[in-house]
């Protein structure tokens, strides 16, 4: 068995394809507004180290607080 770039893998290694989609804070805000939500806050963070910190440009994860508009 080999990986996607041709490296041979031992028989005991299982592989799978994982596809991810990332969105910027601006894209998430737009999608939430289109869906009828108002974005109250966007914070930066990392799994296991969440807090209400300003979002930095190099954040890998973010947390959004949004409420459904009435």
pLDDT tens, residue by residue, 25-70: 999 999 999 999 999 999 987 777 778 888 888 778 889 999 998 8
pTM over the 0.75 mark: no
Reply yes or no on whether the pLDDT at 2 is more than 70.
no
d(CA 20, CA 57): 19
Q: State residue 47's pLDDT score.
A: 76
Other beta carbons less than 10 A from residue 44's beta carbon: 20
Residue 18 lies in a domain: no
The residue behind tokens 């440009």 is 57
Are 40 and 50 contacting, i.e. CB atoms less than 8 angstroms apart? no
d(CA 55, CA 63): 9
Residue 56 region by backbone torsions, left for phi larger than 0, else alpha for psi between -120 and 50, else beta: beta
Task: Name which of 3-12, 18-27, 37-46 the model is least confident about.
Answer: 3-12
Residue 4 lies in a domain: no
Q: State residue 49's pLDDT score.
A: 76
Residue 11 lies in a domain: no
Q: How many domains does the chain have?
A: 1
Q: State residue 38's pLDDT score.
A: 96
Write out the residue range of the structural domain in which residue 31 sits.
25-68
């Amino acid at each position: 068995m080999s990986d996607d770039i041709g490296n041979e893998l031992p028989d005991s290694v299982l592989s799978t394809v994982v596809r991810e989609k990332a969105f910027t804070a601006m894209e998430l805000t737009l999608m939430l507004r289109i869906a009828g939500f108002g974005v109250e806050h966007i914070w930066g963070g990392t799994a296991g180290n969440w807090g209400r910190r300003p979002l930095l440009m190099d954040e890998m994860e973010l947390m959004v607080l949004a409420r459904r508009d009435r």
